[in-house]
A and B are shown apart, each in its own frame.
Chain A
């Protein structure tokens, strides 16, 4: 950095800071922090969509803080799990509060994750040079989903049990290796004490792996710097603002907004997020009338329901996430931001619509009237990535992009 944008922030008084200097020489945390979180140049035109990364980090910390204390009172055995959750809710001091926050937090985590991912799709944040940011983000999404799924097993209620069962059945449908793989992953051909124990360890351990990958993800962002709504890279210093205080203040507003959502959910509408069926202890002999996963898995569950051949359903369901990994190479358009890609913008809107449609199918899969609408949505979902992304650039009229982030014109 040639010129310091905020000189007053950078004056290290050369007097007594001997201890921090001693550390700094050996392990330059102070200068690194200053470079990456104070002076760090951010595009000056970021909107609210760029705040969700910070919101996700805060949510992750909330999950960790509440989760660790929940684990202190939780017992991971088929015999005791349900009763230990009841004990947390009824007798552990503030246990109900911890659990309420953990549950509301997990739901919001997925909300923010989907919003964060959508931001990337809309503004083309996966394009050169941000491919690794995108890939590490997707890895995070897979890990978060695994953690959320494992967490849902832990209370060992009816839905916990039968959700685990659906996944065992799905894995078992893989030709040749399916049964063995299901046994290996789940500890049996139906969910059991062993499954519960494994998923507790997975749930607990995965949280820390997620933190590690978040570090990789954020380092990647800091190396290539943030994209922005115009999708052009800033070239001059005037087009950027230092992270502190500008984006600290801006992210702060959105973080507090997220906390308001959290408080509303955890204190006033917890029933919105709970399935009362899961407050009946797991019973392997009694299949619930309506097996449904948490809302954030509904689209993937919907795909499973749409395809009569189990294995194909599994492929398409898992594939719907895997195809995202290829997006940086499927999208042939040199323009990043969808603000300058009218065709792609409509396509993306339809993609979101299809995704929601698949979710509705997952929720109401017993309604046969939805099946063809669902298959249409599924077809569009794949067509979007495999046809529209590679070929739409050819049909999009040449647009003049703005030349600078300061340029108010050129914007449609």
Chain B
């Protein structure tokens, strides 16, 4: 009989070859900017919900005037640890476009739990016209890509420092950014020191705000990460147990075969 171990190692060689491709791709994309120890990377990764909540405050204050999170409803904010009452209070302070009056004018009303988070522009043309021809990204999934993307967002937010002396934008309204592709970005530095006042007393340095809003963006892109990891570990333990059982059964069944 062919030794099973030989075949298994053969199989692993095969799978390993396949793994090679993502490895190359990782090595190629190794970023040139600072890497932060995010709490949400790795298989035990978890969001620091107080940071997500602070990040949401930063988003509302500094980003929401241009960037939407259009696929999220107010009620979804529960998963960042807010109660429905707390969310309701926040929602009431936002105005939502809802229909037209008899003369065709837009009507606004206070938002409720079932509304989607409001979009800053009612259409793309409007968004373009006030942002040097670029449409600000939607933030629902902007944080996809875990740690690497988070580091990138951090780098952009912190990358407005020290424009070279000879920096000249190609276009009116563009500013220098060290890490944005092409080093010119249509967004001015959105964060200012103490631009928000955190309810939990955390000092609102620019870096702190950047970290919090980045955590918030990663969270909007992976809304179930905490649950996914928690359930995943339980499932893994269960399956490992089943694996041992099936192995034992297989051994027993085959014990009389020479």
- Chain B's closest residue to A266 (CB) is B232
State which of A241, A259, A271 has its C-beta within 8 Å of the C-beta of B239.
Answer: A259
Q: Does B73 contact A (CB under 8 A)?
A: yes
Q: Does A176 contact B (CB under 8 A)?
A: no
- Complexed CA–CA distance, A280 and B144 (Å): 10
Chain A residues whose C-beta falls within 8 Å of the C-beta of B22 in the assembled complex:
272
Chain A residues whose C-beta falls within 8 Å of the C-beta of B250 in the assembled complex:
249-250, 252-253
> Contact: A91 with B25, CB < 8 Å?
no
CB contact under 8 A between A253 and B141, given known A111-B18, A267-B228 = no
CB contact under 8 A between A260 and B254, given known A111-B18, A360-B21 = no
> Contact: A260 with B14, CB < 8 Å?
no
The stretch that binds A, out of B54-62, B89-97, B240-248, is: B240-248
State which of A89, A260, A276 has its C-beta within 8 Å of the C-beta of B145.
Answer: A276
What does the 1/0 interface line of A81-99 toward B look like (CB < 8 Å)? 0010011011100001100
| Size category, B interface | 35 or more
Q: Does A118 contact B (CB under 8 A)?
A: yes
Q: Does B197 contact A (CB under 8 A)?
A: no
What does the 1/0 interface line of A267-289 toward B look like (CB < 8 Å)? 11111101010011000000000
What does the 1/0 interface line of B75-116 toward A look like (CB < 8 Å)? 010000000000000000000000000000000000000000
Most chain B CB within a 10 A radius of its CB, from A91, A118, A268, A359: A268
> Contact: B1 with A276, CB < 8 Å?
no
- Complexed CA–CA distance, A103 and B247 (Å): 28
> Contact: B253 with A245, CB < 8 Å?
yes
Q: Does A160 contact B (CB under 8 A)?
A: no
What count of chain A residues pass the 8 Å CB interface test?
Answer: 54
- Complexed CA–CA distance, A268 and B24 (Å): 21
Chain B residues whose C-beta falls within 8 Å of the C-beta of A271 in the assembled complex:
144-146
Q: Does A263 contact B (CB under 8 A)?
A: yes
Give, as a whole number of angstroms, the nearest-CB distance from B75 to chain A.
8
Give, as a whole number of angstroms, the nearest-CB distance from B87 to chain A.
15
Chain A residues whose C-beta falls within 8 Å of the C-beta of B15 in the assembled complex:
111
Chain B residues whose C-beta falls within 8 Å of the C-beta of A363 in the assembled complex:
21, 24-25
Chain B residues whose C-beta falls within 8 Å of the C-beta of A333 in the assembled complex:
none
State which of B4, B14, B25, B235 has its C-beta within 8 Å of the C-beta of A47.
Answer: B4
For the residues of B in contact with A, the DSSP-based class is: helix
Give, as a whole number of angstroms, the nearest-CB distance from A55 to chain B.
12
Most chain A CB within a 10 A radius of its CB, from B1, B24, B145, B246: B1
- Complexed CA–CA distance, A111 and B138 (Å): 34
- Complexed CA–CA distance, A263 and B141 (Å): 23
CB contact under 8 A between A256 and B144, given known A45-B2, A249-B253, A408-B1 = no
From 277 to 335 in chain A, residues with beta carbon under 8 angstroms from any chain B beta carbon are: 279-280, 295, 298
- Chain B's closest residue to A250 (CB) is B250
Most chain A CB within a 10 A radius of its CB, from B4, B76, B235: B235
State which of B11, B20, B72, B240 has its C-beta within 8 Å of the C-beta of A115.
Answer: B11
> Contact: B14 with A118, CB < 8 Å?
yes
- Chain B's closest residue to A281 (CB) is B138
Q: Does B71 contact A (CB under 8 A)?
A: yes
> Contact: A252 with B14, CB < 8 Å?
no
Chain B residues whose C-beta falls within 8 Å of the C-beta of A364 in the assembled complex:
24, 28
CB contact under 8 A between A246 and B246, given known A48-B11, A83-B71, A271-B145 = no
Chain B residues whose C-beta falls within 8 Å of the C-beta of A249 in the assembled complex:
246, 249-250, 253-254
Chain A residues whose C-beta falls within 8 Å of the C-beta of B249 in the assembled complex:
249, 252
Chain A residues whose C-beta falls within 8 Å of the C-beta of B140 in the assembled complex:
86, 279
Chain A residues whose C-beta falls within 8 Å of the C-beta of B236 in the assembled complex:
260, 263-264, 267
What does the 1/0 interface line of B3-21 toward A look like (CB < 8 Å)? 0100110010011011011
> Contact: A256 with B243, CB < 8 Å?
yes
Q: A249-B253, A253-B246, A356-B17 are in contact. List 13 more A-B contacts (CB 8 A).
A: A86-B71, A87-B71, A90-B71, A229-B1, A246-B257, A249-B250, A250-B254, A252-B249, A256-B243, A268-B43, A279-B221, A339-B2, A363-B21
- A residues adjacent to B (C-beta < 8 A): 44-45, 47-49, 83, 86-87, 89-91, 96-97, 100, 111, 115, 118, 229-230, 241, 245-246, 249-250, 252-253, 256-257, 259-260, 263-264, 266-272, 274, 276, 279-280, 295, 298, 339, 352, 356, 359-360, 363-364, 408, 411
